[in-house]
Structure 1
Amino acid sequence: MGTIRMTMAQALVRFLDNQYICVDGKEIKFVEGVATIFGHGNVCGLGQALDQNRGALKYFQGKNEQGMAHLATAFARQNNRRKIIACSSSIGPGAANMVTAAGCATVNNIPLLLLPGDTFATRQPDPVLQQVEQPSSLTVTTNDAFKAVCKYWDRVQRPEQLMTAMINAMRVLTDPAETGAVCIALPQDVQGESYDYPDYFFKKRVHRITRSIPSSEELQDVVEAVVTSKKPLVICGGGVKYSEAGKALLDFCENFNIPFGETQAGKSACPSGSEYNLGGIGVTGNLAANQIADKADLVIAVGSRLSDFTTSSKWLFKNPDVKFVTINASRFHAYKMDAIKAVGDAKATLEVLTELLRERNYRSAYKNEIRDAKAAWDKEMERLAACSYGENFKPEIEARNPGSIEEFAEMTGSSLTQTAAICEIRRTIADDAIVIGASGSLPGDLQRMWTTDVRDSYHMEYGYSCMGYEISGALGVKIAEPEREVYAMCGDGSFLMLHSEFFTSIQEHQKINVLLFDNASFGCINNLEMGNGIGNLGTEFRYREASGDLTGSFVPIDFAKIAEGYGAKSYTVRNLAELKAALEDSKKQNVSTLIDIKILPKTMTHDYLSWWHVGIASTSEKPSVCTACEKKNQHLAQARKY
């Protein structure tokens, strides 16, 4: 055994450069590069190592640590979890900024490697700049905050500890059932300490991602559940995408006449044009999927976490005899809804089940229900596309928030409704364009209304619904797929919260397109509060009045000028003709673009046979709140309890 003397940080960089995965016989370099914002906690250690010799690793300069980590998460997600970008920060606020992104990656089961700097292991200069001192324990630092939002956490207190820390990091990052955020905290003094590392630590490592199948007993349980059902329904979750099981799921449904609904993570794993694809399901689902779900006697969830938005807070499936089957690589997720479990890879499991069910000559009892449900939704889509602010739509939207719509229309000169704008965008952009979203009302509209027959063209972060993911995520997706147009579907509230990596897209010559829906509000939450009897409090962007309340006129913002300042091409649109012209012109640009779309408030889609369980005051002086609480209790009585 030979040894190589180097610093811990140098050893880390060399190790990362030699990690590969193998899926279906195809070998892929796992770590694309390192994104970082240098500070005193990492520049002299990890920074020196990257400067000296980073091998084939690329370096990415972030502008905000949270945004930088969102970029890395989106990159990994668009690569179906087969490539990652590691993220490094200084200690203190730089590290804390990444905690939100870690939670986002873990909730969505996306591999994210975080390498935050840490305080001195020797404690000699304590308290070092940016150190949080806890009198109860000097071992606690900012990086302990990552423990709640990571799948694996470690701190390298001595240079030789790096070896076991990184082997375990790779174990989690490459495990389809357990992957998520991994935090390896790096004390800044240890980063520069040297050790005689064994040369085998730096050998090329190939982590094999295998396709496990459930036990024969589990498979037989699923088969019996299917063959005794008449009206089964499949839920296509994110695991279908990551397993690349779209074709297997489509074959399964076509063979046995079974319709399927899509979660946010599963959308675009299968073509929207399939006669069996009902579209989005759940709280933000459409009429077709939720109508079929209402009467289903068997729900087969493939690669889904079965979140409250997918199950409509366990209220959606009302057939008293309904049963649940779960196909999931994670035993934890497979146990949800007291389901009949099949723990295994989505693609491999669906292929085996298809053969087993063929032997039983199974076919569902659906006749025209699937076709009729889709036709009814198509008709509703035509109505949504035609919505304009006039006599045909004005009463409907003003009932949701009297006065705000007219005020916004007068201030901006806009006549654009959100539903019509989305339909125009879908008609105009390329078929293989990738849309990204995360928060606000847009995820609901997009899950219901967006259609695509190009796989992996819909990228929605809705597990954490993390505001600020959209623009950072768009850049991560563009780095993953540089030949395709990428569109960040972003609300004004989310843009204001985090858009720093928009500048990074300019710096990297990576064109992204930001479609900014400006309705001068946190519109989704404004709907939620007013729909549950609460007043219009703190969710619109208004001036503060002399009385002390934020009830003045809307605050106008020229988002196009912000984009121009970064060097992007920008547009402001107020009607469908201007929107179409801007979309067409943006296709011709080589630089990132931003279209400031002035959207009338309250013109998004709303519930379709769904319910979302939120906490509502059980005692109130307002009759409207009491009424909302009564409705909640009625729905809750109909929901499943586990």
Structure 2
Amino acid sequence: MSTVRLTVAQALVRFLAAQHVERDGERRPFFAGCFGIFGHGNVAGLGEALLAGQDRLRYHPGRNEQAMVHVACGYARQANRMGAFAVTTSVGPGATNLVTGAALATINRLPVLLLPGDTFAGRVPHPVLQGLESPHDGTASVNDCLRPVSRYFDRIVRPEQLIPAALEAMRVLTDPAETGAVTLALPEDVQTELVDVPEAFLAERTWHVDRQPAAPEALARAAALIRGAKRPLIVAGGGVVYSGATAELAAFATATGIPVGETFAGRGALLSDHELALGAVGHTGTTAANRLAREADVVIGIGTRWADFTTASKTAFQDPDVRFVNVNVAAMDAHKHAGVALQADARVALGQLTEALGDVRAPAEWQERAATERGAWEEERLRQIAVPQDGTLTQAATIAAVNDAAGETGVVVNAAGSMPGDLHKLWRARDPHGKGYHVEYGYSCMGYEIPGGIGIGLAAPERRVFVLIGDASYLMLPSELVTAVAERTRMVLVIVQNHGYASIGGLARSVGIAGFGTHHRLAPDDAPVLDAPDGDGLAPRGGADLRAPAEPQAIDLVGNVRSLGVPVTEVTTDAELRAALAAAEGADGPVAIHVEVDRYAGVPSYEGWWDVPVAAQSDRPEVQAARRAYDEARQKQRHYLEVTP
């Protein structure tokens, strides 16, 4: 067998550049490039290899290690997990900064390859700069922090270990059920050592993502259960979109008359103007979806992992005999809620179910109920997004303006605060492929929005990206605007200014602690700043009734955005916002719009609960009242254990 002598880093870069992925006869390179920040632990090894291999694997400089992983996640999601980025950092703080991004990737089942440098395998210059010394483990390094948030982890301490490690990494990255963050820790001395690698290792290799059908026996059980349902409901998750099964979902719903609710990742799996689309379901759901969920006797989950927001913390489905059918590529999710497990690709399984059910349709009265609730919700949605008579802006009206500007091909991205819930309820899905709605809510990571938007732009440069971000989330990772400028991302950054952590402020008020610690204000005499519509920014002084105004912090987000090279427009009315969005259409790089909104004009929760425990003992009457309400709501929680005959 002929071999090629290369450094370990050179061999790895050439291997990554040669990997392809294929599904449905469409073949494409798997890695779009490598984001990196260099330090002593990776510059001489991977840095040299990336420089030498620029014709094979493009290098993109990042500004923050966590953000680089977010970029990779945004790319992978927009590419339906059929493409990925590698990310390299030095050992030390660069490597530990990867942990948050890795958790986000793994929780959201998004492929990203992490290549952190590591301490010397030879251990001669030990302890090395930024290296962790453990008195009880000579093999430990800070990269071990990545083990619990990686789907696969390996440390390559000998050059010949590269080949099996790289192949295992690709196996996991391209497996729809197993994918997530993959970490190959690379000691800085090993990166630069020579290794004889077979030419076959460097040759083009295609990883086939085959569509798994449902087992005939499982399909028969599922069809029998659905056939006997009187009040069936579909809950569409991200698996519908990743599978490219939006058309099949629409066909299945139309053929059976079964209404459809959507999770965060599945929002947009069905066009909002479809007659059976109920929109968001769960804690941040619509009245239409939540009322039908409460009465459903058979729930068909397609590509959902049944997170707590989707189930309203196990209170959404209240029929005492409710049963579940779960279509999912991952066995863990297919078996949740004691459901009939169809471990299968969503597109294939929907076709199989459509055929198996034949002319079976949901009862007419159930379809009529769905239509009535759908119409009532649309009236409420229009009421929420209406602009106040004085023309000032609310967050809901801001979402509506961005929704109109995005049209069918624009992509909205968001991740944290109150905006994900408002988007989940209010957004009108217009893209038939389900790619216009990109809310990261598996990890709900503040700061994801800007780098995530860069990743979307890299995956779909023909689309305009609308990054909706609150002021607090913006402050987490504004540095990535520099990357957006460098990458010429066609991004419209809409900064919603509500002067602090508005979402948690509302949550804190609901549990009786008056928005404590959530407003950007200076407290006099170090007193705690409270935050409520009737006492905005007031600090208690010596007693509950002795209050003094707390001085607002002077935070110039407009100046900050401008200093990072992005033009910004300030707006205060709906007309100004829509004009700014229209003006941004012709920009060939990122532009920003700063929107001042009413901090307290929120969209309510519509019959969807979320389990946030309230203190069982407190001197505050507000906390005591919140605890009583919590104990009452908790009575509706249940385990779904009904066994299908």
TM norm structure 2: 0.94
1:482 paired residue number: 461
**Relative to structure 2, which stretch is displaced further, 45-54 or 237-246?**
45-54
2:58 paired residue number: 58
1:126-145 per-position Cα deviation (integer Å, ceiling 9, x unaligned): 11111121111121111000
1:496 aligns with 2:480: no
1:447 pairs, out of 413, 424, 430, with: 424
Displacement of 1:526 in angstroms is: 0.7
The residue matched to 2:195 in structure 1 has which SS?
strand
2:311 paired residue number: 311
1:416 paired residue number: 393
User: Aligned equivalents of 2:470 and 2:451: distance in 1?
Assistant: 14
Contact 1:619 1:626 in 2 (8 A): yes
1:462 paired residue number: 441
Displacement of 1:382 in angstroms is: 1.8
Displacement of 1:493 in angstroms is: 0.6
User: Aligned equivalents of 1:374 and 1:153: distance in 2?
Assistant: 47
2:623 pairs, out of 607, 617, 625, with: 625
1:523 paired residue number: 502
2:138 paired residue number: 138
Displacement of 1:387 in angstroms is: 4.9
User: Aligned equivalents of 1:21 and 1:387: distance in 2?
Assistant: 47
Contact 2:229 2:362 in 1 (8 A): no
Contact 1:296 1:322 in 2 (8 A): yes
Contact 1:467 1:497 in 2 (8 A): yes
1:196-237 per-position Cα deviation (integer Å, ceiling 9, x unaligned): 112211121111101111211111110111011011110110
Pairs within 5 Å for 1:21-60: 21-60=21-60
User: Aligned equivalents of 2:330 and 2:600: distance in 1?
Assistant: 39
Displacement of 1:150 in angstroms is: 0.8
User: Aligned equivalents of 1:189 and 1:57: distance in 2?
Assistant: 22
1:411 paired residue number: none
Please tell me the residue identity of whatever aligns with 2:506: N
The residue matched to 1:639 in structure 2 has which SS?
coil
1:356-402 per-position Cα deviation (integer Å, ceiling 9, x unaligned): 000x6444442411111111111111211225287xxxxxxxxxxxx
Contact 1:389 1:417 in 2 (8 A): no
1:507 paired residue number: 486
1:404 paired residue number: none
User: Aligned equivalents of 1:355 and 1:123: distance in 2?
Assistant: 62
1:290 paired residue number: 290
Pairs within 5 Å for 1:367-378: 367-378=367-378
1:561 paired residue number: 559
1:251 paired residue number: 251
1:520-546 per-position Cα deviation (integer Å, ceiling 9, x unaligned): 011111111110112331111111322
The residue matched to 1:572 in structure 2 has which SS?
strand
Please tell me the residue identity of whatever aligns with 2:609: W
1:545 aligns with 2:524: yes
The residue matched to 2:399 in structure 1 has which SS?
helix
1:105 paired residue number: 105
The residue matched to 2:525 in structure 1 has which SS?
coil
1:590-610 per-position Cα deviation (integer Å, ceiling 9, x unaligned): 231111111111212121011
2:533 paired residue number: none
1:341 paired residue number: 341
1:408 paired residue number: none
User: Aligned equivalents of 2:405 and 2:243: distance in 1?
Assistant: 31
Please tell me the residue identity of whatever aligns with 2:553: V
Could you say if the C-alpha distance between residues 364 and 115 of structure 1 is closer, same or farther in structure 2, counting changes exceeding 3 Å?
farther
**Relative to structure 2, which stretch is displaced further, 252-261 or 498-507?**
498-507
User: Aligned equivalents of 2:177 and 2:578: distance in 1?
Assistant: 43
Displacement of 1:24 in angstroms is: 0.8
The residue matched to 2:635 in structure 1 has which SS?
helix
User: Aligned equivalents of 1:272 and 1:237: distance in 2?
Assistant: 15
1:268 paired residue number: 268
The share of aligned pairs that are identical, in percent, is 41
User: Aligned equivalents of 1:630 and 1:143: distance in 2?
Assistant: 45
Contact 2:102 2:181 in 1 (8 A): yes
Structure 1 residue runs of 5 or longer lacking an equivalent are 391-413
Please tell me the residue identity of whatever aligns with 2:444: S
User: Aligned equivalents of 2:583 and 2:63: distance in 1?
Assistant: 28
Contact 2:402 2:466 in 1 (8 A): no
1:285-338 per-position Cα deviation (integer Å, ceiling 9, x unaligned): 111111111111111100001000001001011111211111000001111111
Please tell me the residue identity of whatever aligns with 1:576: D
1:46-77 per-position Cα deviation (integer Å, ceiling 9, x unaligned): 01111122442111110000011100111011
| Number of equivalent positions | 618
Could you say if the C-alpha distance between residues 367 and 353 of structure 1 is closer, same or farther in structure 2, counting changes exceeding 3 Å?
closer
The residue matched to 2:388 in structure 1 has which SS?
coil
Structure 2 residue runs of 5 or longer lacking an equivalent are 530-538, 540-549, 641-645
Pairs within 5 Å for 1:79-228: 79-228=79-228
Contact 2:411 2:438 in 1 (8 A): yes
Displacement of 1:574 in angstroms is: 1.2
1:17-71 per-position Cα deviation (integer Å, ceiling 9, x unaligned): 1101110111111011111001111000001111122442111110000011100
The residue matched to 1:431 in structure 2 has which SS?
coil
1:634 aligns with 2:641: no
User: Aligned equivalents of 1:134 and 1:473: distance in 2?
Assistant: 36
The residue matched to 1:113 in structure 2 has which SS?
strand
2:606 paired residue number: 608
Please tell me the residue identity of whatever aligns with 1:589: A
User: Aligned equivalents of 1:535 and 1:447: distance in 2?
Assistant: 26
Please tell me the residue identity of whatever aligns with 1:578: E
Q: RMSD value over aligned CA atoms?
A: 1.4
Displacement of 1:437 in angstroms is: 0.6
User: Aligned equivalents of 1:143 and 1:492: distance in 2?
Assistant: 32
The residue matched to 1:426 in structure 2 has which SS?
helix
**Relative to structure 2, which stretch is displaced further, 620-629 or 227-236?**
620-629
Pairs within 5 Å for 1:11-30: 11-30=11-30
1:581 paired residue number: 579
The residue matched to 1:9 in structure 2 has which SS?
helix
User: Aligned equivalents of 2:126 and 2:55: distance in 1?
Assistant: 34
Could you say if the C-alpha distance between residues 62 and 547 of structure 1 is closer, same or farther in structure 2, counting changes exceeding 3 Å?
closer
